[in-house]
Structure 1
Amino acid sequence: MPLHLHGPVLDGSGDDEPRDLYVTADGLVSTEPVADADRVDGWILPGLVDAHCHVGIGPDGPVELEEARTQGHTDAASGALLLRDCGAPIDTRPLDDDPAMPEIVRAGRHLARPKRYIRGLPIDADEPEDLPRLVAEQAARNPWVKLVGDWIDRDAGDLTPLWPDDVLRAAMDAAHAHGARVTAHVFGEHALPGLIGAGIDCIEHGTGLTDDTIALMVEHGTALVPTLINVENFPSFADAAGEKFPAYGAHMRELYARSRQTVAAAIDAGIPVYAGTDAGGGIRHGRIVDEIAALGEVGLGTERALAAASSAARAWLGRPGLEAGAPADVVVVPEDPRTDTSALRRPVAVLRRGRAL
């Protein structure tokens, strides 16, 4: 059914004056009036973006396709209509025809070393030198590739890097030759210089950033998705290490203690920051509003946090916003969400390709 949307449009233009947008019968945005359109009033945003989630992973590892569908439906209902899936052990492409699913920008499967990530999730490189080949295989099928940059080394008893610098440089070259971008899971400090220096496009979590690696990210134009609501799990990760890995436990607690200061420093330095929840990786799906609020509180401010989960994130991922002819992925809320992010929890309408969810 055609719709007439009226109200301020938070699309990054900076114009708060009420505007009129229309949704055509075939689910596209129009700036021209559409006949027989039902009117919807409110604050209008492009569909929200969760730039770090895992459709296909549950608390116990890989899930069946129908559970992955439920995960996607939950995200869409929360307003997250575009997901960057940062590693999934199952192929979720069969879900793309489901009109209630968000659009998914995929990173294929995690790439790791044996026994250096969560069992059942990654493709393991038997030798570090296998990484460029594995990256090329993932990049041939996906616009992103996901590396595990660090993880607990049970021999060392703490976080250590997985890859030598020369292998990382070859891996980045392999991905970029296919037109794909690369991101990496990194909790600690030591993997960051090699990844950033090799030309990685994004860092996930980034709790180990220092002044030096923040400066390196600025130099290379590297983005950050800090997943603040998942960082809240670090104390429980430390507790789970128990007496077996005391150095790891202490390290995780220290990273947690300074995490907000770390992300604030990255923001102050001008690093592009985007909103991601890590849903499926210890966080339930549908919590994008919580991450927006956390980013606003840590120093991004509510307006920039909203952009980090909508217009700016869409541009970063190469997806349209609310321009004429774009798919009508839209969230309409009753009050200005820059004043109170809780307005995002009370949507007047959530539209996926013009279809009300």
Structure 2
Amino acid sequence: MPLHLHGPVLDGSGDDEPRDLWVGDVGLITSEEIAGADRIDGWILPGLVDAHCHVGIGPDGPVELEEARTQGHTDAASGALLLRDCGSPIDTRPLDDDPRMPEIVRAGRHLARPKRYIRGLPIDAEEPTDLPRLVAEQAAHNPWVKLVGDWIEREAGDLTPLWPDDVLREAIDAAHAHGARVTAHVFGEHALPGLIGAGIDCIEHGTGLTDETIAMMVERGTALVPTLVNVENFPSFADAAGEKFPAYGAHMRDLYARSHDTVAAAIDAGVPVYAGTDAGGGIRHGRIVDEIAALAEVGLGAERALAAASGAARSWLGRPALEVGAPADVVVVSGDPRGDLDLLRRPVAVLRRGTAL
């Protein structure tokens, strides 16, 4: 059914004057006025972006395809109509024909070392030197590749890097040669110099960033997705370590205590920051508005936090926003969300390719 959207459009143009957007029968934005189209009034945003989630992972590991569908529907209902799936052990491509599913930009499966990540999720490199080959295989089928950059090492009893620097450089070069980008899970400090120095495109979590590694990210244009709603789980991660891994527990508590200052420092330095929840990785799906609010509070402010979960994030992921010919993936709210982010929790309409969810 054709639609007529009317109101201020928060697309980064800086123009808050009401505008008209038209959506044709095929669910694409058009420049042509459509007589008799149903009208929706409000403040208009591009569909929100969750730039770090896991469709296909549940509390107990991999889920069946229908549960993955439910996860996607939950994200879409929250306004997250574009997801960067940062590692899934199941193939969710059969869900792409579901009109209620968000668009998914995939990173294939996590790549890790044996016993150095959550059981059942990654592809394990038996030898570190296997990583470039595994990265190339993932990059041949996905626009992103996801590495596990650090994880608890049982003998050390704390977070340690998984990969030598020279292997990382070769692996990231292999991904780039395929036209893919690379990101990495990193909680601690020690894996970051090697990953950033090797040319990685993004860091997930980044709670161990220092002034030196922040400066490296700024110099290289490396992005950060801090997943602040998941960082709130760090104390429980520390508690779960118990007496078996006291160094890890203390480290996680320290990372948590300074996490907001760390992300604020990255923002102040000019690191590109995007919104991601880590849904599926210990966080329930549908929490993108919570992450936007957390980013606003930690130093982005409401307007930049909205951009980090909408127009700016879409541009970073190479996906269109509200332009002629683009899918009408739209969130409409009743007022200016820059003044009240809670309006995102009560949308007037959420449209996936012009169809109300």
TM over 0.5: yes
Partner of residue 184, structure 1: 184
Matches within 5 A, 1:17-56: 17-56=17-56
Per-residue deviation at 1:38?
0.8
Question: How much does 1:30 deviate?
Answer: 1.7
Residues 57-115 of structure 1, C-alpha deviations (whole Å, 9 max, x = no match): 00000000000000000000000000000000000000000000000000000000000
Q: Matches of 1:10 and 1:144 in 2, distance apart?
A: 28
Match of 1:230 in 2: 230
Which TM-score applies when normalising by structure 1? 1.00
For residues 31 and 189 of structure 1, the distance between their equivalents in structure 2, rounded to whole angstroms, comes to 49
Please tell me whether the aligned partners of residues 206 and 226 of structure 1 are also in contact (alpha carbons under 8 angstroms). yes
**What's the counterpart of residue 289 of structure 1?**
289
Q: Which letter does structure 1 place at the counterpart of 2:90? A: I
- Give the aligned partner of residue 199 of structure 2: 199
**SS of the residue 1:101 aligns to:** coil
Asked if 1:276 is matched to 2:273, the reply is no
Amino acid in the other structure paired with 1:206: G
The amino acid across from 2:275 in the alignment is A
SS at match of 1:299: helix
Q: Give, in angstroms, the shift of residue 36 of structure 1.
A: 1.5
Cα distance in 2, alignment partners of residues 315 and 275 from structure 1: 13
Structure 2: how far apart are the matches of 1:13 and 1:352? 22
Q: Cα deviations across residues 317-338 of structure 1 (Å, max 9, x unaligned)?
A: 0000000110100000011110
Identify the residue that residue 332 of structure 1 maps to in structure 2.
332
CA contact (8 A) 1:199 1:220 kept: yes
* SS of equivalent residue, structure 1 residue 301: helix
Provide the secondary structure at the position in 1 that maps to 2:173. Answer: helix
- The answer to whether the 8 A contact 1:110-1:148 is kept is yes
Q: 1:162 — aligned with what?
A: 162
Residue 174 of structure 1, CA deviation: 0.4
SS of match in other structure, 1:129: helix
Amino acid at match of 1:351: L
Distance 2:4 2:354 in 1: 11
Q: Hey, what's the Cα distance between the residues in 1 that align with 2:202 and 2:311?
A: 18
Describe the SS at the equivalent of 2:90: coil
Corresponding residue SS for 2:277: coil
Give the residue type in structure 1 aligned to 2:178.
H
> Secondary structure of 1:289's match?
helix
2:57 matched residue in structure 1:
57
- The one-letter amino acid paired with 1:263 is V
Per the alignment, residue 144 of structure 1 pairs with: 144
Corresponding residue for 2:66? 66
Specify every segment of 5 or more residues in structure 1 that has no aligned partner in the other structure, as ranges: none
Amino acid across the alignment from 1:38: D
Q: Structure 2 CA distance, aligned partners of 1:120 and 1:17?
A: 51
Q: CA RMSD in A?
A: 0.4
Q: 1: distance between equivalents of 2:219 and 2:21?
A: 39
Shift of 1:31: 2.9
For 1:55 and 1:180, how far apart are their aligned partners in 2?
Answer: 20
Q: Which runs of 4+ in 1 moved over 4 A?
A: none
CA drift at 1:350: 0.6
Q: TM (normalized to structure 2)?
A: 1.00
Q: How does 1:289-328 map to 2 (within 5 A)?
A: 289-328=289-328
Distance in 2 between the 1:34 and 1:127 partners?
60
The amino acid across from 1:328 in the alignment is: A
Give distance in 2, aligned partners of 1:31 and 1:274.
30
Q: Is the 8 A contact 1:20 1:31 kept in 2?
A: no
Q: Which residue of 1 aligns with 2:89?
A: 89
Q: Give 1:35 deviation, angstroms.
A: 1.9
CA shift, 1:188, in A, is 0.1
Indicate the residue corresponding to 1:112 in structure 2: 112
- Structure 2 residue runs of 5 or longer lacking an equivalent are none
Cα distance between partner residues in 1 of 2:125 and 2:287: 33
Name the CA distance, whole Å, in 2 between partners of 1:48 and 1:83.
9
Say which SS state the counterpart of residue 135 (structure 2) adopts. Answer: helix
Cα offset, 1:239, TM superposition: 0.2
Alignment-mate amino acid for residue 122 of structure 2: P
Q: What's the offset of the Cα at 1:32?
A: 2.4
Separation in structure 1 between the aligned mates of residue 14 and residue 155 of structure 2, nearest angstrom? 53
